[in-house]
């Protein structure tokens, strides 16, 4: 069960995704191979979303028979400035469509994909839709995908989340340093982390970074040197850092091919038990650790 705490992210199954992704969207045959290998290696979760292009449809076609994946999907962003009762119907219809595309009667969890929707007038209707999804037996858990610990005050004031997804990596430690990770676990909330490789940025050689990231090139170079010093690949180091936090229930990683998943399997084994004592020399500006703030030219 090498990948027991690993979940496969599927954004790249339905669209070209990730700053270091030079291969684009994998073929459906490759997706089928990835899913079969993930199942065999004990990966527990698949992370997808209504807004991930054709990802849900492709998953539905190629999920292994009798699979035991816990599938997490997400509601699309509410386009209106305010939420009303009509949005409850729309959100439930969207979730029903997700289930149809996934060819599943129910999924493990559904998350609010755009946390800012909880700040809109009428946010209560969003909470109603989530509760109705549970009542209908479509989902086991409900929760929210957040961008940082600053979002938790909004979430905790308006929902009773059972699962939170948040970014965490060796350069973006806000979830840990803020105390949010410990607080979530004390409340019994399941925690999934994403961005372990910062959309692949941490796996790029410092000299290959786009010019936008020049100010943090020394930090990434130091990280690469740390991994070299302890004889770990950068991939293994990144995974060792996030998996080293026992309060993290799952680490969501994106892969574009079977070879990449094999590499992740090997990296999990190589980094097992390694204490990552590397620390950035200074906190990084959000412009560098939040991909929403990156220029379109670097995506």
Residue 256 sits in which domain range? 6-298
Asked if residue 207 belongs to a domain, the reply is: yes
Rounded Cα distance between 9 and 13, Å, is 9
For residue 282, tell me if it sits in a domain. yes
Please write the tens of the pLDDT for every residue from 56-104: 999 999 999 999 999 999 999 999 999 999 999 999 999 999 999 999 9
Q: What is the mean pLDDT of residues 217-238?
A: 97
| Residues 48, 54: Cα–Cα separation, whole Å | 10
Grade residue 21 by pLDDT with cuts at 50, 70 and 90.
very low
Q: How many CB atoms lie within 10 A of CB 205?
A: 10
**Model confidence band, residue 38 (pLDDT cutoffs 50, 70, 90):** very high
Q: What is the mean pLDDT of residues 93-121?
A: 97
Determine how many CB atoms are found less than 10 A away from the CB of residue 80: 14
pLDDT at 193 over 50: yes
Domain assignment of residue 1, yes or no: no
Q: Residue 125 in contact with residue 92, Cβ under 8 Å?
A: no
Q: Which two tokens stand for residue 225?
A: 């040197």
Buried b (16+ CB within 10 A) or exposed e, 224-255: bebbeeeebbbbbbbbbbbbebeebbbbbbbb
Alpha helix ranges (H) inside the chain? 11-14, 28-40, 55-62, 85-102, 124-135, 152-158, 174-177, 180-186, 217-229, 234-243, 258-271, 286-289
Give the model's confidence band at 296: pLDDT under 50 very low, under 70 low, under 90 confident, else very high: confident
Token pair of 290, please? 């939040």
- pLDDT 10s digits, 256-291: 999 999 999 999 999 999 999 998 888 889 999 999
- Residue that is written with structure tokens 């191979």 in the block: 33
CA distance 53 to 142: 22
Q: pLDDT above 70 covers what percent of the chain?
A: 96
Query: Which CB contacts under 8 angstroms, 24+ apart, belong to 289-295?
Result: 289/167, 289/169, 289/171, 289/172, 289/198, 290/147, 290/148, 290/167, 291/19, 291/195, 291/198, 291/199, 292/147, 294/19, 294/212, 295/212
Contacts of 152 (CB under 8 A, 6+ apart): 146, 164, 180, 183, 184
CATH number of the CATH domain containing 115: 3.20.20.100
What is the pLDDT at residue 14? 85
Do the beta carbons of residue 42 and residue 4 sit within 8 Å?
A: yes
Q: Is residue 41 part of a domain?
A: yes
- Rounded distance, CA 187 to CA 284, Å? 29
Residue 1 or residue 168, greater confidence: 168
Instruction: Report yes or no on 171 lying in a domain.
Output: yes
The C-alpha atoms of residue 107 and residue 72 are separated, in whole angstroms, by 6
Mean pLDDT of 175-202: 96
Tell whether the model's pLDDT for residue 202 goes beyond 60: yes
Q: Give the separation between CA 73 and CA 200, rounded to whole angstroms.
A: 22
Q: What is the pLDDT of residues 171-188, one digit of tens each?
A: 999 999 999 999 999 999
219 lies in a domain? yes
Over range 136-151, report the average pLDDT. 97
Residue 77 is classified by DSSP as: P
The pLDDT, as a whole number, for residue 25 is 84
In the chain, how many domains are there?
1
Residue 209 lies in a domain: yes
In a domain? residue 275: yes
């Amino acid at each position: 069960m090498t990948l027991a705490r690993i979940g496969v992210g599927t954004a790249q199954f339905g669209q070209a995704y990730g700053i270091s992704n030079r291969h684009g969207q994998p073929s459906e045959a490759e997706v089928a191979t990835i899913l079969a290998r993930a199942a065999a290696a004990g990966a527990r979760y698949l992370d997808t979303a209504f807004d991930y292009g054709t990802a849900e449809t492709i998953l539905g076609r190629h999920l292994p028979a009798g699979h035991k994946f816990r599938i997490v999907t997400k509601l699309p962003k509410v386009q209106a400035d305010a939420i009303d009762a009509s949005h409850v119907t729309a959100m439930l219809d969207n979730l029903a469509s997700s289930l149809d595309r996934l060819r599943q009667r129910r999924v493990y969890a559904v998350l609010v994909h755009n946390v800012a929707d909880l700040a809109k007038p009428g946010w209560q209707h969003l909470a109603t839709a989530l509760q109705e999804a549970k009542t209908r037996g479509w989902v086991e858990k409900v929760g929210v995908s957040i961008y940082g610990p600053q979002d938790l005050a909004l979430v905790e004031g308006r929902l009773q989340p059972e699962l939170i997804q948040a970014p965490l990596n060796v350069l973006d430690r806000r979830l840990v340093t803020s105390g949010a990770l410990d607080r979530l676990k004390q409340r019994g909330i399941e925690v999934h982390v994403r961005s372990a490789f910062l959309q692949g940025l941490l796996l790029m050689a410092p000299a290959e970074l786009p010019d936008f990231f020049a100010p943090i090139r020394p930090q990434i170079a130091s990280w690469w040197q740390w991994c070299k010093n302890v004889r770990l690949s950068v991939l293994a180091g990144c995974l060792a850092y996030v998996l080293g936090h026992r309060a993290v229930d799952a680490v969501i990683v994106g892969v574009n091919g079977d070879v990449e998943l094999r590499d992740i399997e090997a990296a999990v084994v190589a980094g097992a038990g390694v204490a990552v004592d590397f620390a950035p020399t200074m906190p990084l500006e959000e412009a560098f650790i939040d991909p929403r703030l990156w220029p379109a030219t670097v995506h």
